[in-house]
Every structure is written in C-alpha cells, then in structure tokens.
Amino acid sequence: MPSSACCDPSNNSIMITVHFIAGADVLMTNTYQASIGGFIKYLGLSKEASYELIKTAVSLAKLACSLYATEVGSTADARKILIAGAVGPYGTALHDCSEYTGSYVAHVSRKEIADWHRPRIQALVEAGVDILAFETIPAQSEGEALMDLLKEFPEQKAWLSFSCKDEFHTCYGEKFQSVARRCWEINPSQLVAVGVNCVSPKYVSPLLRGINADRSDNPFPLIASPNSGENYDIQKGWTDREKCCPVENYVPEWLTLGVTYIGGCCRTYAADIARIKEEVNKWTSERKKIKINGHT
C-alpha cells in the first residue's frame, strides 16, 4: 500500500517509519508537483540544479527505507519497501487549479505535455525509483501522452491513476472506463495497474466495476488510492470527516473487483494504513481458505 508521506529525514523520518510499521509497502517521493521549470522560476535554481533536486527526493526516500530497515533489523516487520516516483499532472505547474479539471488539455498539445514531463521522469528513473506513479491525471490526452512517453524508458514500470469528478467520469468529463482501457492498450507491457486516486472512496467501486467485463481471460490490474472522502472548503479546509465511511470498509469489495494496489491520498494517516492493511490480510486469508477447500 502506498504511503505519500514526505521524505525529508530531518523532519519526517519518524513519521515515515510509522507508516512502514503500519503496513505501507510503497513509499512515494515528494515530487508530485516538482518540475524543472518550477524550480528555475520559483527557487532561482539552474536547470542542472533543478534536475538534481528531483533526484535528491529519491535519495531521501532511499534513506528513509534504510532507516526503517536498520530499525526493524531481521524482525517479522522487515520487508522490501518499493520507492515510487510521484509524477503529478501538467496542471500543477499552472497554479490555476486546472489540475482538478484538466481544462488545459484543450489548448496544450500532447507534445508540450510530454516535453514538460520528460526531464522530471528522466531524473526519477536515473535516481533509481522502483516504479513511476503517474497520479491524479485528469484527462485522457495526458494519460495517453504519458503512456507514449513511458516507452522512452523501456525498462521502467509504472502505474497510472486518474482523478474523477464523480462515479463515471474523469475530471475532464470523459468516460473513465473507456479512458483507462485505452491507456492500458497503449502500453500494457510497462503498466502494472490503471485506476483512480484522490477521489471519494464511495466512487471507487462504481468507477472500477465491470471495467474488465470483456477481458475475463486477461484482466488488467487495478489501483485505488482514494482520499478520506471529506469535503474541502477553501475557507474552512477539510470538513465532515465524521460523516465519512472509513476507507477500510470498502477494501474487501475493491480487492474482489481486481484491485492489486491500494493506498491513500489526502487525509490518509498511519492509522488508516494499518486498518487497510488489516482488511487486506483478512481478505487474503479468506481467499486462501477457499482455495484450500477446493472452491473457486
């Protein structure tokens, strides 16, 4: 299960270790909004220094994993933690909230989007991430651009997750299932999963249900990394947590639908990861019992 904790060891190594102990198997780099152009413009860095700064995020993630490994030693908690290089959408660079709508794809070409993504992906790959996390992508054209761009790094695996405005459509308004299938077909050899993130958990099952109905012999794996389900108010911040159904309550159904990567986006804490992990373990155990008993 991914953990999106920031990986600055001076402030967050304890928090990251808590996420690992809670059950996180994947640590995402703090590079969701990172871009060469952004660092040049807002930090006054050179192109080369900006490139190296993105690579530094991977080094810090590796350090966090090393600290965890040292802490747990050879105990039962010791396991391989994967490092995912977080790659957010082009709209994060525009500072107009268009990453939540995908409106920029109407006037920004796929080539421009690919050219913007390329150096940040190159930096993450060079730094040695285990997998790339293309996340919160709001529109089909950007998803397609990323799938084509990924082919330039033929040894690299990735997952692709979209942001959706309801239980049927991407944030840009396209039919999610059609978009997901199309992107999978572009690059099935490098993708490990396609799905959704930063959506309300109540939308996940409707978005994913039936997506592999015509692929029963060769279903593609799915990813679900929703937020807490809370509402965001620009004045009050996050609200209505007490009205939300706990994310872990949805986990068994998602697993049954074919989800192979489960994580948490906004407002997901170590306690949530622990409860999600518990549900995953329970579901897995029950499935093993069914197989042992000779049932399908």
Domain harbouring 217, CATH code: 3.20.20.330
Rounded to the nearest angstrom, the gap between the alpha carbon of residue 157 and the centroid of all alpha carbons in its chain is 13
pLDDT of residue 70: 84
Beta strands in 62-174 (DSSP E): 82-87, 131-137, 158-162
Q: Which amino acid is at 9?
A: P
pLDDT of residue 74: 64
pLDDT in tens, 221-271: 999 999 988 887 778 888 888 888 889 999 999 999 999 999 989 888 889
Pairwise pLDDT comparison (198 vs 20), residue with the higher score: 198
Q: Is residue 10 part of a domain?
A: no
Pairwise pLDDT comparison (217 vs 55), residue with the higher score: 55
Total domain count, the chain:
1
Pairwise pLDDT comparison (199 vs 18), residue with the higher score: 199
Q: Is residue 114 part of a domain?
A: yes
Residue 231 tokens, joined? 């509402």
198 is in an annotated binding site: yes
Q: Is residue 3 part of a domain?
A: no
> In which residue are the tokens 């952004």 written?
38
Q: Is the pLDDT at 148 greater than 50, yes or no?
A: yes
Q: Is residue 212 part of a domain?
A: yes
Q: Is residue 16 part of a domain?
A: no
With bands split at pLDDT 50, 70 and 90, how would you rate the model's confidence at 68?
confident
- Average pLDDT value for residue range 40-45: 96
Q: Is the pLDDT at 291 greater than 80, yes or no?
A: no
164 is in an annotated binding site: no
Instruction: Give the span between the Cα atoms of 7 and 29, in whole angstroms.
Output: 7
Pairwise pLDDT comparison (176 vs 1), residue with the higher score: 176
pLDDT in tens, 160-191: 999 999 999 999 999 999 999 999 999 999 99
pTM for this structure? Answer: 0.90
Q: Is the pLDDT at 38 greater than 80, yes or no?
A: yes
Residue 123 CB contacts under 8 Å (≥ 6 apart), including other chains: 51, 52, 54, 55
6 is in an annotated binding site: no
Rounded to the nearest angstrom, the gap between the alpha carbon of residue 225 and the centroid of all alpha carbons in its chain is 6
Q: Is residue 230 part of a domain?
A: yes
Residue 25 tokens, joined? 């198997």
Q: Is residue 149 part of a domain?
A: yes
Instruction: Give the span between the Cα atoms of 225 and 214, in whole angstroms.
Output: 24
Q: Is residue 4 part of a domain?
A: no
Instruction: Give the span between the Cα atoms of 100 and 106, in whole angstroms.
Output: 14
- Structural domain of 240: 25-294
With bands split at pLDDT 50, 70 and 90, how would you rate the model's confidence at 10?
very low
- Average pLDDT value for residue range 207-226: 93
